[in-house]
């Protein structure tokens, strides 16, 4: 492009010089014509001299321009030659790079082919390795089998040696067992005689209490038939009225629980109405009270089976937390679990194990209870329960049911205002027609004032609220003796039974 532009400029300059030269020639011809006139010769001499000088100068400039033009042309030719040489060199470099690229492509194809061959060879080696590995595994299995057989043979040999030794001592052991069995039989005879004596005293006291129309206390639970009659009717009446009736299964045998559930169902107005079962499950051993007993008689799992089969909607655990496997079984059956507590820390323990509801029973409640008042306990337990989302409540917080001294609408309203979702009523229903309690018990509940009850350890070794009487006052006058008996694992009323002392068990009720 630069060469073309330069050539165009040269052509334009040449044309311009030619035109100027033509004009100059025309002027010269005109001057020559004027020279032909004599009168102008004198003047023209000076003009001719001037013209000669100018023409000479013009010729010199023209020659210089020609030289300059040829010089520029030579320079451009050299530049063209340089660029052509550079072009040829770059072309050769490009051809060399192309040849190198072709060589590299050929090498890549060679490497790819080699890689494919190596992969195929590797796959062959892998297959062979697997075959070798399988062979080694089979050999190892054979070796292990052989070693196992050898070990078994060694064990059999040792067993035969031991049997030889055992046979020598068998006669001596048999004689020792016979002697031990004789001693155990004698001990059993002694225990049976003591138990028969104790049972006779217990039955005598129970008969006296039944004649007086009193309920049998927990400490005399050898015969409980008179305690649970008609309690199914009361639970059914609560469910029929729109509540949720719960059977109080304290110390029930499996047969008794089946009977009471059947009675409840027989009195339900609608078979689909909900009901619950309440069992006392205190902690045994460890740092628990020494007077605690297994009130299920070792039949907890069977009682849970009956509860699940009965179709109960609620299971209530009193004076303790149910074992984890019981909670899991009840939840798997879709049964809600409520734990009765008398202190916020007990609510934490129960909720950590997975119960769905907490029954916060204040110290005003009848039967086993704590020492925290209803008005203090309920808000504290509600605050604890809000932190938990039980399994069967669909993501809702754990519910709290208020208990202890609930006797009317004002008690219900107060409990709801404190955050409870409902109330648990006990003593108030003792005086009902459906309750299976004695008429004397019902009359005492109706006549008892708010200051007529107190808590005692005398009846079960655990704090329990009842209507006080002279028998209880007599024990409360000697608190150190009560504590000593309980610390040793003896319930005071059972001590009186052992000693044949006269007893007058009070009626249980709340404030």
Distance of alpha carbon 43 from alpha carbon 15, whole angstroms:
34
Report the C-alpha gap between 12 and 9 in whole angstroms: 5
> How does pLDDT run along the chain (511 residues), one tens digit per residue?
555 665 666 667 666 666 766 676 676 666 666 555 555 555 556 666 777 777 777 777 777 877 887 888 888 888 888 888 888 888 888 888 888 888 888 888 888 888 888 888 888 888 888 888 888 888 788 878 888 888 888 888 888 888 878 887 877 777 787 787 778 777 767 755 655 555 544 554 554 444 434 444 444 443 333 334 457 899 999 999 999 999 987 778 899 999 999 999 999 999 999 999 999 888 776 666 777 767 788 899 999 999 999 999 999 998 889 999 999 999 999 999 999 999 999 999 999 999 999 999 999 998 888 889 999 999 999 999 999 999 899 999 999 999 999 988 999 999 999 999 999 999 999 989 998 888 888 999 999 988 899 999 998 888 889 999 999 999 999 999 999 999 988 889 988 888 888 888 889 999 8
Euclidean distance between the first and the last CA atom of the chain, given in angstroms as a whole number: 119
Beta bridge partners of 338: 316, 357
Strand ranges (E), 236-307: 245-248, 275-280
Q: How far is Cα 466 from Cα 224, in angstroms, rounded to an integer?
A: 19
Given a contact cutoff of 8 angstroms between Cβ atoms, the answer to whether 249 and 279 are in contact is yes
Estimate the crossing angle of helix 374-385 against helix 409-417, to 10 degrees.
40
Domain residue extents for the chain:
1-170, 222-452
Q: What angle separates helix 41-212 from helix 2-35, to the nearest 10 degrees?
A: 160
CATH of region 222-452, choose from 1.20.20.10, 3.20.20.70, 3.40.1710.10, 1.10.760.10: 3.20.20.70
The model carries a pTM of 0.57
Distance CA 494, CA 193 (A): 18
Q: Which helix (H) or strand (E) holds 294?
A: none
In this structure, what token pair is assigned to residue 158? 């040792």
Taking alpha carbons only, the member of 257, 246, 353 closest to residue 302 is: 257
Burial class of residue 160 in the structure, from the number of CB atoms within 10 Å of its CB (0-12 exposed, 13-18 middle, 19+ buried):
exposed
- 253 burial level (CB within 10 Å; 0-12, 13-18, 19+): middle
Burial class, 258, CB count within 10 angstroms (exposed 0-12 / middle 13-18 / buried 19+): middle
Q: What is the DSSP letter of 333?
A: T
């Amino acid at each position: 492009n630069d060469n073309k532009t330069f050539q165009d400029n040269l052509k334009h300059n040449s044309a311009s010089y030619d035109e100027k030269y033509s004009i100059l020639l025309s002027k010269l011809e005109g001057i020559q014509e004027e020279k032909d006139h004599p009168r102008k010769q004198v003047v023209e001499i000076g003009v001719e001299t001037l013209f000669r000088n100018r023409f000479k100068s013009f010729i010199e400039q023209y020659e210089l321009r020609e030289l300059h033009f040829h010089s520029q042309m030579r320079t451009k030719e050299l530049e063209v030659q340089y660029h052509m040489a550079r072009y040829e060199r770059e072309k050769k470099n490009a051809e060399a790079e192309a040849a190198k690229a072709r060589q590299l492509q050929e090498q890549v194809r060679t490497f790819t082919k080699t890689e494919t061959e190596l992969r195929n060879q590797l796959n062959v080696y892998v297959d062979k390795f697997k075959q070798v590995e399988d062979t080694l595994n089979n050999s190892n299995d054979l070796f292990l089998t052989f070693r196992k057989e050898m070990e078994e043979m060694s064990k059999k040999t040792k067993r035969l040696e031991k049997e030889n030794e055992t046979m020598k001592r068998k006669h001596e052991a048999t004689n020792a067992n016979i002697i031990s069995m004789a001693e155990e039989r004698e001990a059993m005879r002694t225990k049976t005689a003591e138990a028969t004596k104790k049972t006779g005293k217990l039955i005598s006291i129970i008969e006296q209490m039944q004649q007086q129309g009193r309920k049998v206390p927990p400490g005399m639970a050898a015969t409980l038939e008179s305690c649970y009659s008609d309690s199914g009717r009361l639970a059914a009446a609560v469910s029929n009225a729109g509540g949720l009736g719960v059977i109080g299964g304290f110390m029930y045998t499996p047969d008794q629980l089946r009977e009471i559930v059947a009675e409840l169902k027989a009195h339900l107005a609608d078979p689909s109405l909900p009901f619950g079962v309440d069992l006392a499950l205190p902690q045994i051993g460890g740092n628990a009270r020494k007077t605690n007993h297994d009130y299920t008689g070792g039949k907890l799992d069977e009682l849970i089976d009956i509860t699940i089969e009965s179709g109960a909607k609620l299971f209530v655990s009193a004076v303790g937390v149910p074992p984890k496997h019981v909670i899991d079984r009840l939840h798997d059956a879709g049964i809600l679990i409520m734990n009765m507590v008398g202190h916020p820390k007990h609510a934490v323990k129960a909720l950590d194990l997975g119960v769905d509801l907490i029954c916060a029973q204040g110290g005003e409640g009848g039967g086993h209870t704590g020492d925290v008042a209803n008005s203090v306990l309920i808000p504290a337990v509600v605050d604890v329960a809000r932190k938990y989302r039980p399994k069967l409540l669909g993501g809702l917080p754990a519910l709290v049911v208020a208990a202890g001294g609930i006797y009317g609408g004002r008690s219900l309203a107060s409990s709801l205002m404190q955050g409870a979702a409902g109330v648990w009523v006990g003593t108030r229903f003792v005086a009902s027609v459906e309750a299976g309690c004695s008429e004397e018990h019902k009359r005492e509940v109706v006549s008892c004032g708010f200051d007529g009850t107190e808590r005692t350890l005398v009846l079960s070794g655990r704090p329990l609220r009842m209507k006080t009487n002279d028998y209880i006052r007599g024990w409360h006058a000697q608190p150190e003796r009560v504590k000593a008996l309980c610390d040793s694992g003896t319930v005071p009323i059972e001590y009186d039974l052992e000693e044949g002392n006269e007893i007058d068990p009070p009626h249980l009720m709340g404030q």
